[in-house]
Amino acid sequence: MASLTYGKYLRLKELLACQAPESAKAGRPAHDELLFIVTHQAYELWFKQCLHELDAVIAIVGADFVHERDVGRALHYLERVIRIQGVLLDQIDILETMTPLDFLDFRNLLTPSSGFQSAQFRSLENRLGLERTQRLRYNEAEYEAALDASDRRRVGAAEREPSLFDVVEAWLARMPFVRSPEFDFWREYRANVTRMLDEDRETIERKAQLPAAARRAQLDELERTRETFEAVFDPVKYERLRAARQRRLSYPAFLAALMIMLYRDEPILQGPFRLLTALVEIDENLSLWRYRHALMVHRMIGTKIGTGGSSGQDYLRRTVEAHRVFLDFFNLSTYLIPRSMLPRLPAEVREQLGFRWNA
């Protein structure tokens, strides 16, 4: 048997035969078309890798019982996705070395193909947890209209299965320490929030030289903050936010996430804290990539329509905010109070959150 070589292992013969410029077929080779192809192929390779990692994370976090051992692995895979996103961003810099005029040399030959047809990118969005109802319609069509039958099946499957958002939400919702029989954390938290806001009110009222209008504005602001906090303590108010699509997490999951933010130094919460942070960064990076992509398309084709018939950059720009998945974890900061005002956890609770070995 022939021994394994680098080229055979990586199937380089096949891989390097996949670049087939249309401009060459049309008899007028455009130097930059290879760049266009290679960049997009590099994207698709990395998308495959990201899907591989997300699948693994979903399997881990979606299990009935998530051991701490596994949280470490899930986190590790998410951090890898973050690194990959760094390269995805930089690849736009490479593609932008193609100028608009150079793109015109072969752009028409690509009609009607379009980046909207990337089944892996759609799957990625679905695996992360982008909801169908949340998706902007593109040329008044559902997103899978652009796909062929087999891609549609694949993307549809990715949509039906539990997403990363789903499994994280469920995992949070069943965290055991959020409600403890011996210690009503949230009652104490509420008391401290109230005390903090009352002190703020006094401060405002004491400011002698504050013009009346400014004082009123500040007091109004304070009352809005108070109402915002109400959602933490009152499930009914929280559900109202959800109904208005201002929040997506279930109430128990939201409480667990908030508690993780507040007591992230406790040994058992360090992993979950890092995991939530990783989700925030993935969301941030994806948004940045979307925005960067929209800028590039604008720069490349101006205000004309894209190769796929969409009014490209405009649609892309609107997805930047519309297609975000883990927004709730950004919003958690709204509900934080200073460490100095945090309820002190009773010894028995702290011990629960620690390691056996250190006990």
- Please select the residue that binds its own copies; options are 26, 113, 195, 322, rule is CB under 8 A: 113
Q: Please work out the total of residues on this chain that contact its own copies, with binding judged by CB under 8 A.
A: 125
15 binds its own copies (CB under 8 A): yes
**Phi and psi based region of residue 310 (left: phi greater than 0; alpha: psi -120 to 50; beta: remaining):** beta
Question: Which range, of 114-122, 125-133, 160-168, 235-243, touches its own copies by CB under 8 A?
Answer: 114-122
Interacting positions 234-263 with its own copies (CB under 8 A): 261-262
- Please select the residue that binds its own copies; options are 73, 132, 137, 153, rule is CB under 8 A: 73
Residue 91, both tokens? 């690849």
Question: Which range, of 105-113, 126-134, 183-191, 237-245, touches its own copies by CB under 8 A?
Answer: 105-113
Interacting positions 152-191 with its own copies (CB under 8 A): 176-177
Interacting positions 32-71 with its own copies (CB under 8 A): 34-35, 37-38, 40-42, 44-46, 48-49, 52, 56, 67-69
**Shortest separation between residue 274's beta carbon and its own copies, angstroms:** 9
HSE at residue 141, side-chain half, CA atoms within 13 A, is 10
10 binds its own copies (CB under 8 A): yes
Interacting positions 85-104 with its own copies (CB under 8 A): 86-87, 90-91, 93-94, 97, 99-101, 104
**Shortest separation between residue 139's beta carbon and its own copies, angstroms:** 9
- Please select the residue that binds its own copies; options are 133, 149, 211, 340, rule is CB under 8 A: 340
Question: How wide is the angle at C-alpha 80 spanned by C-alphas 79 and 85, nearest 5°?
Answer: 95
Question: Which range, of 156-164, 178-186, 234-242, 331-339, touches its own copies by CB under 8 A?
Answer: 331-339
Interacting positions 16-35 with its own copies (CB under 8 A): 16-20, 22, 28, 31, 34-35
Instruction: Indicate the residue type of 167.
Output: V
Q: What is the DSSP string of 130-190?
A: --GGGSPPBTTB-GGGGS-HHHHHHHHHHHHSPPHHHHHHHHHHT-TTSSBTTB-HHHHHH
Adjacent-strand bridge partners of 183: 180
Angle between helices 267-301 and 68-95 (to 10 degrees): 20
Adjacent-strand bridge partners of 141: 138
336 binds its own copies (CB under 8 A): yes
Of 12, 29, 141, 91, which is closest to residue 132 (Cα–Cα)? 141
Instruction: Indicate the residue type of 295.
Output: L
Interacting positions 124-143 with its own copies (CB under 8 A): none
**Shortest separation between residue 221's beta carbon and its own copies, angstroms:** 6
216 binds its own copies (CB under 8 A): no
Calpha distance 285→266 (Å, rounded): 28
Using the minimum distance from each CB to its own copies, give the nearer residue, 23 or 163.
23
Of 273, 235, 240, which is closest to residue 257 (Cα–Cα)? 273
Interacting positions 282-301 with its own copies (CB under 8 A): 284, 287-288, 291-292, 295, 298-301
Q: What is the DSSP string of 211-275?
A: -HHHHHHHHHHHHHHHHHHHHHH-HHHHHHHHHTTS--S-HHHHHHHHHHHHTTTSHHHHHHHHH
**Shortest separation between residue 193's beta carbon and its own copies, angstroms:** 13
Tell me the chain's radius of gyration from C-alpha atoms. Answer: 25
230 binds its own copies (CB under 8 A): no
Question: Which range, of 161-169, 230-238, 248-256, 337-345, touches its own copies by CB under 8 A?
Answer: 337-345
